[in-house]
Amino acid sequence: MRQTPRTKPFAKRSFGQNFLTDAACIEKIIGALDPASDDTIVEIGPGRGALTAALVAAGSSVVAVELDADLIPLLRRKFEGHANFRLFEEDALHTDFRLMIEAGSETTGKPAKLVANLPYNVSTAILQRLIGYRDCFSEMVLMLQKEVVERITAAPGTSERGYLTVLTEAYFDTEMLFEVPPGAFIPVPKVTSAVVRLVPKPGIELPDAEQFSSVISLGFRQKRKTILNNLKNEKIFGAESVVSVIESCGIDPRLRPEDLTLEQWGRLSARSLF
Ligand code: SAM
């Protein structure tokens, strides 16, 4: 039997490929980013170019990073002749975004924006990597699983609040923008997605990024335990009693980690000896 010729690469689960096909949704994401002709916009995972096309049409300097080698020729063909489009065949988990922006941008001085319909399998790893590059960007508009957006934006005292929430909150003002139903993609994913805006902020006085992330990671080790129980066997405060350190940070030791505010985590991490 004759096979239908493969005119375009098929979606690969291993690359987290769910391509956006819903025009209204694409328009909403682009509207949230509001691309201008003097903007440099980094796009992670352009895929078949659903968002890229609107960014290129807006005249922004588009710097796209795509890992799937099979999509590269398609993207080059689609945007050939557009001097404001640059494509890097790279892994966003290893990319030096600073160098990429310098190499790919026409404009100078203005911080770049970032947009991505992130591959779900590596979305939180990419998000954590982007924290290290936050000074390169004025804002990031990201599509993630709705559940991940709920975690990122969870207020103190809510069960969704965890390590990723506090880490993101330390470095960004976060705003959940809208939900995107599974039917907006091909192939159709099992879960609902959501778009979040992250705007880098100067941040609270963090003693040290690694120290801060280690303390919140230990503090959330068992979410249902109290902050005291999670930290009491860790030697992170030297000879000082863990209860008295927690209390001196203005924290009730019986609280669960999800109840602590960003400022309280900041005070605790400042006292640790990591
Ligand atoms: N932006 C397109 C859209 O909205 O239709 C595609 C989004 S799809 C969910 C994720 C894209 O990220 C795919 O094109 C995939 O190949 C690419 N990708 C997956 N892992 C990547 C990585 N580590 N670095 C860069 N791109 C990656």
Q: What is the pLDDT of residues 144-200, one digit of tens each?
A: 999 999 999 999 999 999 999 999 999 999 999 999 999 999 999 999 999 999 999
Q: How confident is the model at residue 108 (pLDDT cuts 50, 70, 90)?
A: low
- Return the ligand 1 atom nearest residue 20 CA: 5
- Which tokens is 157 given? 């005292």
Q: What is the pLDDT of residue 4?
A: 47
How far is Cα 1 from Cα 59, in angstroms, rounded to an integer? 46
CA separation, residue 193 to residues 157, 196, 227 (Å): 24, 10, 31
Model pLDDT for residues 231-263, shown as the tens digit of each residue = 998 889 988 899 999 999 999 999 999 999 999
* pLDDT score, position 106: 63
Q: Are 26 and 20 in contact (CB under 8 A)?
A: yes
Do 154 and 132 form a contact (C-beta atoms < 8 A)? no
Cα(260) to centroid of ligand 1, in Å?
Answer: 35
Q: How would DSSP label each residue in 8-34?
A: SPPP-GGGT--EE--HHHHHHHHHHH-
pLDDT class for 1, splitting at 50, 70, 90?
very low
Query: pLDDT tens-digit profile of 26-73?
Result: 999 999 999 999 999 999 999 999 999 999 999 999 999 999 999 999
* CA of residue 123 to ligand 1 center, whole Å: 10
Q: Whose CA is nearest to atom 11 of ligand 1?
A: 45
Of 12, 14, 18, 19, the one to substitute when testing ligand 1's pocket (max ligand atoms within 8 A of C-beta) is: 19
Which amino acid residue places its CA nearest to atom 8 of ligand 1?
17
Long-range contacts of the stretch 163-166 (C-beta < 8 A, 24+)? 163/213, 163/216, 163/217, 163/220, 164/124, 164/127, 164/128, 166/216, 166/220, 166/260, 166/262, 166/265
Q: Which helix (H) or strand (E) holds 100?
A: helix 97-104
Residue 230 φ/ψ, nearest 5 degrees:
-70, -30
Q: Is the pLDDT of residue 96 over 50?
A: yes
| Residue closest by Cα to atom 20 of ligand 1 | 15
Ligand 1 neighbours (beta carbon < 6 A): 15-20, 44-48, 50-51, 65-68, 71, 91-93, 117, 119, 122
Strand ranges inside the chain, DSSP E? 19-20, 40-44, 61-66, 85-89, 112-117, 137-145, 172-180, 185-186, 193-200
Q: How remote is the CA of residue 30 from the centroid of ligand 1, in Å?
A: 17
Residue 133 CA to residue 47 CA, distance in Å, equals 22
Closest CA to 17 of 120, 87, 107: 120
